Amino acid sequence: KTTADNSIFENLESEVRSYSRGWPTTFTTASGSWIRDENGKEFLDFFAGAGALNYGHNNPVLKQALVDYITGDGITHGLDMNTVAKRELLESLQTNVLAPRGLDYKVQFPGPTGTNSVEAALKLARKVTGRESIISFTNAFHGMTLGALSVTGNSMKRAGAGIPLVHATPMPFDNYFGGVTEDFQWFERVLDDSGSGLNRPAAVIVETVQGEGGVNVARAEWLRALAELCARRDILLIVDDVQMGCGRTGNFFSFEEAGIVPDIVTLSKSIGGYGMPLALTLFKRELDVWTPGEHNGTFRGNNPAFVTAKAALDTYWGPDTTLPAETAAKGAKIEAAFDELAAKTTGVSHRGRGLVQGLVFEDPDHASKVCSIAFDEGLLAETSGPSDEVVKLLPPLTVTEDELDRGLGILAEATVKVCS
């Protein structure tokens, strides 16, 4: 899905080795659920920055907050300084997100991206426990730097690094064996077997829904059993909510439905709200062991992103938020459309939660053909999963019913064409 020989950028790429996504056009402007290319063609964007644009492109409320901040000479770069923008974001996070959920987390700004948040989580878990290894899951995706890549279960991505840095052991994700419930027996057995090469791990890192891994949904009871196992065995539980957080699955945090409270939570992508780089690492108060400067970096304090992040939390996550109910209703609409589609085609099924929904093709070729037809008809969606066999829909949470109908119509027509 990314290519080095996209014809439009061929010359450029041979010079700079920048790999572009395989959509054969060049984009110019975007608003809401729509993105336009330089030929004036409009596309519904159900890719939405791989989950970085939950409030749509150029959301007008967030844009105004940013414009006001910039025209008022607000600080754009402040390293680790205390700034009003930072304070206001932390206050908004506390009042709109953490306090109403009874969550008592400290906040670290780990660096600009999701990967940085994962690195911070792994570092912190190792420092707190004095242990080294990490448990991850089959088909997990946590990022591209050495630590995050070590817990990523995608062999193509891992091959980019040679030998991973962190000792990580992948365990079967929920439903890996097709619905049997023995996963944790294996898990416990490995933990008890100190001669197996696995020392007691510092942490378990998990996504509640594996986005890059193919929209694999962990059941709430599986997540509860995992959290219980971690607590019983004194292993820290990290939920990587970089892609599924900020309302993607319905609630602000994707783990809320399971009623679990992770020790550490990673957030990025849509936390900045406006598509600008920002990441947070949340951790329980008692895990606050870093001395000042032990984890720092030049671009951790992205003040314009603090401003749009605060505007997003104030606008969408206040006490009267309607976003979770809307997300559930829109998700149900996609599921109903996918049910219908699966019934009238062959080799097609679906899975998902809220506004992350995957159309699963027995033949991965069919998934890429469907995406390519959808592109021609004006819909952007990308494939995910170990063989790129899943067409993953991540529309902005602000997508309208009409836009959803139109996108689903394009996808249905393409799927019928390819799979009847």
Which parts of 323-362 interact with ligand PMP (CB under 6 A)? none
- Binding segment for ligand PMP (CB under 6 A), chosen from 85-93, 121-129, 136-144, 324-332, is 136-144
- Residue 388's Cβ-side half-sphere holds a number of Cα atoms within 13 Å equal to 13
- CB of residue 279 to ligand PMP, shortest distance in Å: 7
**Could you say which of 211, 262, 273, 352 contacts ligand PMP (CB under 6 A)?**
211
Strand order in the sheet with 348-353: 348-353, 356-361, 390-393, 382-384
Cβ neighbours around 255 below 10 Å, total = 25
Interhelix angle 323-343/401-419, nearest 10 degrees: 20
Q: In angstroms, give the least distance from the CB of 312 to ligand PMP.
A: 17
Q: For residues 416 and 406, is the Cβ–Cβ distance under 8 A?
A: no
From 27-35, 140-148, 180-188, 361-369, span contacting ligand PMP (CB under 6 A): 140-148
Half-sphere exposure of 338 (CA within 13 A, CB side): 25
Q: Which stretch binds ligand PMP (CB under 6 A): 174-182, 235-243, 299-307, 358-366?
A: 235-243
- Residues 9-28, one symbol each (x = binds ligand PMP by CB under 6 A, - = not), give --------------------
Task: Provide, rounded to whole angstroms, the least separation between the CB of residue 192 and ligand PMP.
Answer: 29
Question: Does 206 participate in binding ligand PMP (rule CB under 6 A)?
Answer: no
- 98 makes contact with ligand PMP (CB under 6 A): no
Inter-residue contact 228 to 251 (CB < 8 Å) = no
Nearer to ligand PMP, 251 or 415 (CB): 251
HSE toward the beta carbon, residue 260, CA cutoff 13 A: 28
Whether 249 contacts 283, CB under 8 Å: no
Say how many residues touch ligand PMP, by CB under 6 A. 15
Under the criterion CB under 6 A, does residue 50 sit at the interface with ligand PMP?
A: yes
The Cα–Cα gap between 120 and 44 comes to 35
Q: Are 107 and 90 in contact (CB under 8 A)?
A: yes
Among 45, 119, 240, 382, binds ligand PMP (CB under 6 A): 240
Residue 226's H or E segment, with its range, is: helix 220-232
Q: Is 143 in the site for ligand PMP (CB under 6 A)?
A: yes
Binding mask 100-129 for ligand PMP (x = CB under 6 A): -------------xxx--x-----------
CB of 148 to ligand PMP, least distance (A): 7
Q: Which of 139, 47, 88, 41 is nearest to 308 (CA)?
A: 88
Residue 214 makes contact with ligand PMP by CB under 6 A: no
Contact 83, 301 (CB under 8 A): yes
Residue 275 in contact with ligand PMP, rule: CB under 6 A: no
Of the candidate residues 86, 126, 142, 310, the single one contacting ligand PMP (CB under 6 A): 142
Residue 331 contacts residue 355 (beta carbons within 8 Å): yes
Q: Which residues bind ligand PMP (CB under 6 A)?
A: 50, 113-115, 118, 141-143, 207, 211-212, 240, 242-243, 268
